[in-house]
Amino acid sequence: MATKQILILPGDGIGPEIVTEARKVLEAADKKYNLGLSFDEDLMGGSSIDAHGVPLTDSALAKARAADAILLGAVGGPKWDKIDRAIRPEQGLLQMRSKLELFANLRPALMYPQLVDSSSLKPEVVSGLDILIVRELTGGIYFGQPRGIRTLDNGEREGYNTYVYSESEIERIGRIAFEMAQKRQGRVCSVDKANVLEATMLWREVMDRLAPEYPDVELSHMYVDNAAMQLVRAPKQFDVLVTGNMFGDILSDAAAMLTGSIGMLPSASLNQHGQGMYEPCHGSAPDIAGQGLANPLAAILSGAMMLRYSLNMAQAAEGIEAAVGRVLDQGLRTTDIATEHSTKVSTQEMGDAVVKELLA
Ligand code: NAD
């Protein structure tokens, strides 16, 4: 069997703690399912700035290019907040996304029945929730040119950005959404602001053009303001939501919170070849770093997504997800998801419990 090379980038803050647990779980899955995984590690973000003066070195990037998949903890923290913007930790992340052309960001929001009381919404609104947000990640207003802050003739300053999408950019993210829906409930809702923004009128046109190629998928459209409202009113109406970079940034955070804790949410960023970077949705949580308080489940579930989407190892992915479910059934909880009746465990204890269930 060909070895699958995984590059691990622990990053900063709680990154190294949670990634240690995710790696342990992947190694256990490797043992159980005989996957042929091989691991390498490198630095990105603040840890790389401290060691090399830049958030991402050429050699770490070369390793990432050569890997089958990348597992990232999180980057950033107050220690690096005041340094030059061009070499801040998050620049490492942005460079990685753009150099590897990781244009498709997949963010599932899945409500574990055991955690239904952790949501800020009523149990009947969120129980059984299973949605996937597909966000375009390398285009749109976050990258569009021209951009900047200029001084007008009257001396007043003006900030400006450009919301731009080409047909090919829309088409490739649209195809990902349709393909994902084919493996799920067969529904795509495309989110735009086509009543106001020309770029999203084109977005809607391209989605409509693609739809007949996927007759088993039902396509609908929704304006972003309504989508924000519907996500908190009746989120279960959605299966796959596909949208541009900025709308996706905002909606995916809202969807994340429907499920209770940010410590539970994995994500994937894929390129055209299925290569991907997998990371929890949360940041480096410097406020709890080094205390064994971080929830490693988002990182562990990111590892499961990696097996499913980049390495084609769905059975092992399901094994990990089921093991996480059983650990929650036992009432084990890190602080962020703990309740009165649960058993509080540390980051490491949670990782150990998942390994134990996986191998049981
Ligand atoms: P954050 O997600 O790091 O933390 C927000 C809150 O959630 C904090 O109270 C934190 O303790 C808690 N939290 C986050 N993850 C948790 C986990 N696994 N278990 C338990 N609690 C958890 O967001 P922030 O505080 O806005 O950002 C902190 C740093 O992370 C900043 O430097 C920011 O730039 C960076 N950041 C990085 C990424 C990334 O690497 N992809 C994403 C977002 C933020």
CA–CA distance, 302 with 113 (Å, rounded to integer): 19
Domains of the chain, start order = 1-105+283-360 (3.40.718.10), 130-258 (3.40.718.10)
What integer pLDDT is reported at residue 1 of this predicted model?
64
236 touches 129 (CB < 8 A): yes
Kindly report, residue by residue over 269-309, the tens digit of the pLDDT. 999 998 999 999 999 999 999 999 999 999 999 999 999 99
105 bridge partner residues? 135, 269
Kindly report, residue by residue over 212-252, the tens digit of the pLDDT. 999 999 999 999 999 999 999 999 999 999 999 999 999 99
pLDDT of 8 strictly over 80: yes
Residues that are catalytic: 142, 193, 225, 249, 253
63 touches 7 (CB < 8 A): yes
> Is 55 in a helix, a strand, or coil?
coil
CA-286 nearest atom, ligand 1: 28
What integer pLDDT is reported at residue 253 of this predicted model?
86
88-93 mean pLDDT: 94
| Ligand 1 pocket check for 76: Cβ under 6 Å | yes
Pocket test for ligand 1, best of 137, 282, 295, 334 (most atoms within 8 A of CB): 282
Virtual torsion, Cα 15, 16, 19, 24, nearest 10 deg: -160
Question: How far does the centroid of ligand 1 lie from the alpha carbon of residue 212, in Å?
Answer: 41
CA–CA distance, 179 with 202 (Å, rounded to integer): 21
The two structure tokens encoding residue 177: 């959404």
CA–CA distance, 282 with 285 (Å, rounded to integer): 8
CA–CA distance, 158 with 134 (Å, rounded to integer): 32
- Whole-number percent of the chain with pLDDT over 70: 100
Q: Structure pTM?
A: 0.92
CA-75 nearest atom, ligand 1: 40
123-127 mean pLDDT: 93
CA–CA distance, 360 with 358 (Å, rounded to integer): 6
| Ligand 1 pocket check for 267: Cβ under 6 Å | no
243-267 mean pLDDT: 90
Question: How far does the centroid of ligand 1 lie from the alpha carbon of residue 287, in Å?
Answer: 9
- In degrees, rounded to 5, the angle at the alpha carbon of residue 259 between the alpha carbons of residues 121 and 194 is 85
Kindly report, residue by residue over 163-221, the tens digit of the pLDDT. 999 999 999 999 999 999 998 999 999 999 999 999 999 999 999 999 999 999 999 99
Stated length of the chain:
360
Q: Whose CA is closest to atom 34 on ligand 1?
A: 76
| Mean pLDDT computed over every residue of the chain | 95
